[in-house]
Amino acid sequence: MQKIFMKYFLVIMVVTVGITLAGNFFIQKQFAQKKAEQKAADYVTQIVDRLTANDKVIGNLVNSLNENYIARARALGEIIAQNPKILDSFDELNRLTDVLQVDEIHVIDKNRILRWGTVPEYHGMDFDSTDQTRPFLDGITDKTFALAQEPRPNGYEGKLFQYIGVARQDEPGVVQVGVRPQVLDEALKNNQINVVIDNFNVPDGTNVTVFDPSAQTVVGDTNSRLIGKTFSDLGVKDAALQTAQDAQDGKQDPNGVWLSRSGERVFAVYAPVRNYLAEVSFSRASLMNERKNQSIAAAVSSVLLGFIIILSIYVLLKRKIIHDIDIVNAGLSAISDGNLDVAVKVNSTPEFVALAGGIHKMAAAIKMQMGEIVEQSEQLKNQARTLKENNLSIMSSMNYARKIQNTLLPPRQAFDAVFQDCGIFWKPRDLVGGDIYWLKQFETGAVLCLCDCTGHGTPGALLSMIVVTALDALVTEQNCGDTAQVLYALDRRLAGSLNAGKNIGAGDIRDGADIAVFFIGNDGNIRLSSARIHVFVCRGEDVKTIKGQRITIGDGSISGAEQIETIIIEAGNGCECFAATDGLFEQVGGEKKLPFGYSKFRETVKKNYGAPCQNTVDSVWAALERYMGGETQRDDITLIGFKL
């Protein structure tokens, strides 16, 4: 019985394999075309996905740039509000373009006329005269106005520019900056269809061409030699045109047609890509080679499959159930080893067939779950990559902000011109901060200010810029020796700029600053007025602490200059003065996580008495670092020491 069964089964298998090979030869062409159509659809999807991803990146870039430019325009508005006379200085306005990293500055008055700016040719321009400038007029009446226009050619010169404007805060008008959007322009160029297609890789024998349907001309091509050619030049006629139109109108799925091109037969598939029509063409050789390879593979597979089946039946008849159990066990072992594509083939009983089916479903489910895990892992990697890029962008902006804040600090040479010896330590908690110091020399002496603005990081840094601008405007030869009057004038200026009109509750924090103002007279004595910043005077073993008044500059609570104390420090030989912001004394550390405090500071100053001031300042910082241990810096820290 076994021999008869094997005889007839062998005859059936030989006939089946022969029919399969004959039929396979004729259907492989259709199969190759369908596969080509699927490949074409995949290529089109990749192109659309790439364009969509580029659009998203460009959108994020536009939003980020607009926010950055509006912040620069507002900073310019604050500077003008603090010192309106700066508008009359063409050199100062040009300096601000470098500080703010913009190309142009324009200021419009309440009559809609551009009166001040870095481009004299624009002076006198009526902003109600062009569609490009008219949208900025709302800023004359709306103090909250802010607008970042889309990049466009400017009205006078036709240069591609982006203009950003905010309302003036000191009087009706608009502050406007102009920038050349080079980064955005480059991103838009890279998202053009011809650039995307030029960078799109396809294998030999395959070509992707993008047409403008209205002009029927090539606008993008992986083979750049076809750009500019028409449908007629490429042999796209009759049925091909109808197929292309149907694909463009979305009436049917992409179907391929055979065309003659440059003496060669190509198989072309059409599909819409946004407002364009994409053609993916495959050479006859590439399709036929694939059909030939598939036919050989099918023939080999059929023969092997026939012998495998014959051998399997023979073994099943000989061993029956025991062999099925071995197959099931082998399959389960392969799955446990990670081979989820294993095939468990059993045919003896319905129970084993059902068992094999269950094993296959289990492997398929595990495989599907693993695929989902891999996909989620890729998504997480992409998210991490995006986060890293965003962090790099933010760090780049913060580093540039630090450069801007560094330009506000007086150079070391200015200190050397005033003091016999001095030491400075300035360390913001972040890349930028709210601590800043200021020095200016007059005929009768010099004024030194140490300031700790509300907050730290970017908000504190912006407030410190306002304070420096105010000091430049307020401290003059006439009032430089009256430190109380300087503090009072600064309080008035900051209160009007920061807290005027705010509805501040009892528990809210007002914007302001802790400031110590020194006037170092030519007679060797020092006049000091201080708001919350302590000053330490060291004369050998004696370290005297001069506590700052419990007032805050800028909160509007000071009624007059007479409310502010003025302290005279007689310098004399061997007098060393130190002043520091509260970030030094309030930094926690040690085993009990307590503040650094004043006693450790005074001990270090006393121990280093007579040494160069910079050595003393460095010793204080070294002592603080040892005390901090693994703790992070909690606030901005500034320490200044000097001898007359």
Please give the full DSSP string across 466-513, using - where no structure is assigned. Answer: HHHHHHHHH--TTTTT-HHHHHHHHHHHHIIIIITT----TTSPPP-E
> What is the pLDDT at residue 318?
62
- CA-nearest of 256, 102, 255, 261 to 178 is 102
pLDDT digits (tens, 9 = 90+) for 58-88: 788 778 888 999 999 999 999 999 999 999 9
d(CA 422, CA 488): 27
pLDDT band at 540 (very low <50, low <70, confident <90, very high): confident
Residue 623 lies in a domain: yes
Cα 520 to Cα 5: distance, rounded to the nearest angstrom: 117
Q: What is the pLDDT of residues 10-37, one digit of tens each?
A: 777 777 767 776 666 667 767 777 777 7
Say if residue 440 is in the same domain as residue 359: no
Residues 350 and 418 reside in one and the same domain:
no
Same domain, 561 and 472: yes
User: Are 556 and 491 within 8 A, CB to CB?
Assistant: yes
pLDDT above 70 for 518: yes
- Residue 305's pLDDT is 74
pLDDT at 172 over 60: yes
| Same structural domain, 491 and 452 | yes
Q: What pLDDT does residue 155 have?
A: 55
pLDDT in tens, 475-484: 999 999 999 9
Residues 474, 568, single domain; the answer is yes
Residue 5 burial (CB count, 10 A): 12
pLDDT at 302 over 80: no
Question: What does the pLDDT read at residue 501?
Answer: 52
Is residue 298 assigned to a domain?
A: yes
Q: Are residues 551 and 414 in the same domain?
A: yes
Q: 617: domain CATH number?
A: 3.60.40.10
pLDDT at 508 over 70: no
pLDDT at residue 267, rounded to an integer: 80
State the pLDDT at residue 211: 76
Q: Does residue 127 form part of some domain?
A: no
63's enclosing H/E stretch is helix 2-82
pLDDT at 95: 93
The pair of three-digit structure tokens given for residue 365, joined into one six-digit string? 């489910």
Task: For the chain, give the mean pLDDT.
Answer: 83
Residue 21 in any domain: the answer is: no
Q: What is the mean pLDDT of residues 119-131?
A: 90
CA dist 144 and 128 (Å) reads 20
Give domain status of residue 539, yes or no. yes
Residue 163, strand partner residues: 178
- Residue 422 included in any domain: yes
Stronger pLDDT, 257 or 525, i.e. the higher one: 525
**Lowest-confidence pick of 64-68, 257-261, 447-451, 553-557:** 257-261
Query: What confidence category does residue 616 fall into, taking pLDDT thresholds of 50, 70 and 90?
Result: very high
Question: Based on the domain organization, do 329 and 413 belong to the same domain?
Answer: no
pLDDT surpassing 50 at residue 295: yes
Q: How far apart are CA 536 and CA 532, in angstroms?
A: 13
- Give domain status of residue 522, yes or no: yes
Are residues 460 and 471 in contact, defined by beta-carbon separation less than 8 angstroms? no
| DSSP category for residue 410 | P
- The residue range of the domain holding 516 is 409-500+510-643
Task: Report the pLDDT value the prediction gives residue 270, as an integer from 0 to 100.
Answer: 78
Comparison of pLDDT for 343 and 575, the residue scoring more: 575
More confident residue, 302 or 539: 539
Q: What pLDDT was estimated at residue 426?
A: 97
Q: Tens digits of per-residue pLDDT, 308-322?
A: 876 776 666 666 566
Instruction: Give the span between the Cα atoms of 433 and 405, in whole angstroms.
Output: 9
Separation CA 161–CA 148 (nearest Å): 11
pLDDT tens track for 191-229: 777 777 777 788 877 888 887 777 778 877 877 677 877
Q: Which residues contact 251 (CB under 8 A, 6 or more apart)?
A: none
| Total number of domains constituting the chain | 2
Q: With pLDDT > 90 as the criterion, what percentage of the chain qualifies?
A: 42
Least confident of 132-136, 187-191, 628-632: 187-191
Question: Residue 500: is its pLDDT beyond 50?
Answer: yes
| DSSP SS3 for 429 | coil
Look at residue 506 in the predicted model and tell me its pLDDT: 46
pLDDT value for 422: 97
Same domain, 524 and 478: yes
Together in a domain, 459 and 313:
no
Among 11-20, 61-70, 353-362, 402-411, which is the least confidently predicted range?
A: 11-20
Q: Does 343 have pLDDT greater than 90?
A: no
Instruction: Tell me what the mean pLDDT of segment 626-640 comes to.
Output: 96
Statement: residue 612 has pLDDT above 90: yes
Amino acid of residue 325: I
Check pLDDT > 80 for residue 490.
yes
| Domain-located, residue 115 | no
592 and 547 in a single domain? The answer is: yes
> Would you list the DSSP string of 224-248?
GGGTT-BTTTTT--THHHHHHHHHH
Across 45-59, 384-398, 530-544, least confident range: 384-398
Which residue would you say has higher pLDDT here, 466 or 201?
Answer: 466
530 and 618 together in one domain: yes
Q: Which residue from 606, 605, 617, 600 is spatially nearest to 541, judged by alpha carbons?
A: 606
What is the C-alpha separation between 225 and 237, in angstroms, rounded?
Answer: 20
**Pair (363, 470) in one structural domain:** no
